[in-house]
A and B are shown apart, each in its own frame.
Chain A
Amino acid sequence: MGIKLLTNNINVAGIQKLDTYQNNGGYDMFKKALSMTPDAIVEEVKKSGLRGRGGAGFPTGMKWSFLAKPEGVPRYLVCNADESEPGTFKDRYMMERIPHLLIEGMAIGSFALGCHTSYIYIRGELMYVYHILQKAIDEAYAAGFLGKNILGSGFDFDLHVHCGAGAYICGEETALIESLEGKRGNPRIKPPFPAIRGLWDCPTVVNNVETLMAVVPIIKLGGDEYAKIGIGKSTGTKLISACGHINKPGIYEIELGIPVEEFIYSDEYCGGIRNGKKLKAVVAGGSSVPVLPAELILKLANGEPRLMSYESLGEGGFATGTMMGSGGFIAMDEDTSIVKNLWTFARFYHHESCGQCSPCREGTGWMEKILHKILDGHGNISDIDLLWDIQSKIEGKTICPLGEAAAWPVASAIRHFRSEFEEYVRNPQNIIEDHHYYRLNNISQESV
C-alpha cells in the first residue's frame, strides 16, 4: 500500500462527525498551527513544494506569499469546490466523507494568511454536500474551532459555505469571485490578479479543496518531510479520480511518481482494462487536457515509462505529452470512438462558455457542430482541417483558460487520431453503425 496522507482515515466509521474526527487526531494540526507564526506556516507550505491541485499546478506556498497585505484591508481565502470538470470527482468525495479535513485546512490557511473570513464556494449540483459541510461548520463553531478568539489564541475566524448555481465557468477563480459577490459568473480580465484585487476588491487567495486539505499533513510532517514524498517537483500525494473502461473506477490517493502503467494495471489501483480489452487512449487530467494514445501515455517518446507526476505527464509538450490537470483520469478501451468522445467534450465546453469573448463563445459551438456533422456521416476531409484551424484560433486568444480547455482536446484528438476522423468521413456507414448510434443506444446490429 502506498502512502496515504488525506485518505488514511476516510473509512473510519463516523469520520464525518467532529468527535470521531478529533479522536483520530483531527484539529490537532490547527492547534499546532496556532502555536506557530503565520509566516512560519507559509514557510512550511513553501518548503513542502505543494502544487495547486485545481488544475494549473501553481506552487501553493508561492501563491500564498504573493498575497498583498495592505494595512487596514481585509484579505480572503476562498476554497474552490466548484469541481465540474468532466472526469474529475475527487473533491466531492473528500468533502462528503471527511468535511472537517477541509475546515481544518482552511482554518490553518486563513490563520497563515491573516484572513478572518473565508468562503467555500461549492458547485450548485452538490447541494447534499453543502449540507454536510454546513453541519460540520456548525459543529466546529460549537466546539470553538471557528468563531471569536479561537482556543484562546486571539484569532477570530468565520467560515461560510456558498452554493453556486450550476456553472462550470464559476470554477475559474475570478468568475468564482464574481459569483460569490452575487454577480454574473464572468471571468475577470487580468491583471489585476486576485492576490492584489480579488473578492470585494480585496487581496484573495483561491485554492482547490485538495490543496487546502493537503496543508494539514504538511503541518503534521513539516514541509521538508512532505517534500520527500513524491518525485522531483511533484511532491506529496495526489487524489486521482479514475473512470472509464477500467475494472475499478474510483478515487485513489497515489504518491506522485508511480508509473502510469502501474496505476492502470495494478490491483491496488484501476485493476486493468475491463472485459480483457486493450487500452486505446487516456485523458489523464480531466477533460481539458490533451488525450494521449496508449503507447504515449504508458511510455515517453524515448521509451522510458511515463510517471504520474506533473513533469512526466507533461514530458514532450503537447506533441507527445499531456498534463496532470485536476487528476481526472479517463481510460478508454479499444472499442471507444475518439470522435464520439471528443464530441461529448466539445458539447460540454460549448454549453459552459460564459460568452464574454468571441473566440470561445462562437468557436466552441462551431466545433461542436462540425463534430456532430462528422458523427452523423456528413463530414468532409476539409472539416477536419477546419476543426484544426478553429481550435488554433481559439487557443491563447481568450480571456480565461476555458478557451484552451475547449481547444486542446480537439487538437490532441486530431493530432493523434486523425485517421479515425478520416474513417468517419470516408466510410460513415461502417463506423457510425458500429461505434456511434448502436453502441450508444445498446441496440444489437442484428436486431435492426
Chain B
Amino acid sequence: MPKVTIDGQSIEVPEGTSILQAARLIGGDIVPPAMCYYSKLKTSGGYCRTCIVKVTKGSEKDPRPMPKPVASCRTNVMDGMEVQNITAPDLVEARKGVVEFLLINHPLDCPICDQAGECDLQNLSYSHGIEKSRYEFKRREFEKIDIGENIKLHMTRCILCYRCVKVAEQVCESRDHGVIGRGDVAEISTYIQKAVDKDFSGNMIDVCPVGALTDRTFRFKSRVWFTKPMNAHRKCTKCSGKTVVWLSGDDVLRVTARKDKFGEVEEWICNECRFERKETKDWNIEGPRHIDRQSVIAQNHYEVNKQLKIDVSNQKLLGEKAHNKQ
C-alpha cells in the first residue's frame, strides 16, 4: 500500500486513494477544506480549488516536486509522496486567495439565509478567510427561482460546485438541469420547460455547500439552531427511511439525510420522506442526533437541553405534587 506523508504525518492507504481522503484518515487540522468534492459522487471535485496542497515530493520513484499546487481531492497518492498543507505558508496564502475569490460575488446574506449555521462557505471564510473583502464592485445577482416544486434556487449564492448536477446524474433517474452560460455568469438552470422533479432530487439540497438550493417546505420556518435534530426512521419502499428530523417542539420542520463528520450524506433519501412526511406520527424517533460535523449546533447543547426539559417537567411534577399536598 502506498505511503504518504502529509504535514509530517504518515499513513498507508489503498491504491487509488486521493490525498484528501488520506488526510481525512489522518484527521485533525491537516485535512484540507473541500467545497466541491463529495466522496459519494463520482467525478466530483476539482472545481473550487479550496483543497489545494503542495506536493513537495512526487513519489519514491519520481521524487520531483509538483510545479503547481494540486487539488488534493482529485490527485491520488503515490508511494513515498510528501505533501504540505498547513505547514506551507505560501499554500495557506494561496488558499486564502481561493476563499476570497469564492466570496467576492457571494451575497453574504447569511442573516436571512436558511443555510446559515450549516454553511460550508460560512465556516470556510471563518476558518480560512481574510477579515475584510478587498472587492468593491457590485456583486453579481440572479433572480431567485423555483427549480422544482420543492426546491428553491438562489443562484446568487451558488459557488458552482457542480454537486447538484452530479446528484441528478448519479442519484436521480435523469438530469433536468445543468450549468448554462460561462464564466462568472454561468448559472445552474433547468433546461427549457423542465423542472427538477425526479425522485431523490431533494438530495441536491443536502449536497449544496451553501444556501443556493433550499428546501421550500422549510424556507424561513426557523433558524437551524432553534431546531433539534433527531435520528428517525420509517418504513419506506424507496429508500432506507433513515433520516434526521429537525424538530421545533413537536413539529417536524424539516427532514434531511443523515450526514457524516465531513458533512456528507450517509444514505440518500427519497423525496417522499423528505418533503411529505412532516408529522411526528410519521416517524419512529430514535433520539437526538449527535452532530459531529461543522455546524453551529455541533456543541450538541440540545442533547443536554432534552435532559433539562425532562428535569424541568419532573420538577413541575414534584411541584404539583407538593402543591396538591398542601
Binding site for B on A (CB under 8 A): 167, 169, 184, 189, 350-359, 361-366, 369, 386, 389-390, 392-393, 396-399
Contact = CB atoms under 8 A, between A and B. Distances in A.
B178 A184 contact: yes
B68 A361 contact: no
Contacts of A167: 182
5 contacts: A184-B178, A189-B74, A357-B49, A366-B137, A386-B134
Contacts of A354: 182-183, 186
Interface of B: 45-50, 52, 67-69, 71, 74, 94, 97-98, 100-102, 104-105, 134-135, 137, 159-160, 162, 178-179, 181-186
A169 B186 CA distance: 14
In terms of DSSP, what is the predominant structure of the interface of chain B? Answer: loop
A364 B68 CA distance: 19
Contacts of A386: 134
A351 B134 contact: no
A175 to B, nearest CB: 11
Given A184-B178, A355-B160, A359-B101, 11 more contacts: A355-B183, A357-B46, A357-B49, A358-B48, A358-B159, A362-B104, A363-B101, A393-B98, A396-B68, A397-B68, A398-B49
A358 B102 contact: yes
A362 B101 contact: yes
A167 B47 CA distance: 19
B134 A362 contact: no
Contacts of B67: 396
A362 B105 contact: yes
Nearest to A397: B49
Contacts of B101: 358-359, 361-363, 366, 393
Contact of A358 (B45, B47, B178, B182): B47
Contacts of B184: 350, 353, 355, 361-362, 364-365
Contacts of A396: 67-69
Max chain A Cβ within 10 angstroms of own Cβ: one of B52, B135, B183: B183
Q: Which 10 A-B pairs have the closest CB atoms?
A: A393-B97, A355-B186, A362-B101, A189-B46, A396-B68, A353-B183, A358-B101, A355-B183, A365-B184, A369-B137
A361 B183 contact: yes
A351 B184 CA distance: 8
Contacts of A355: 160, 179, 181-186
Contact of B69 (A357, A362, A369, A397): A397
Nearest to A363: B101
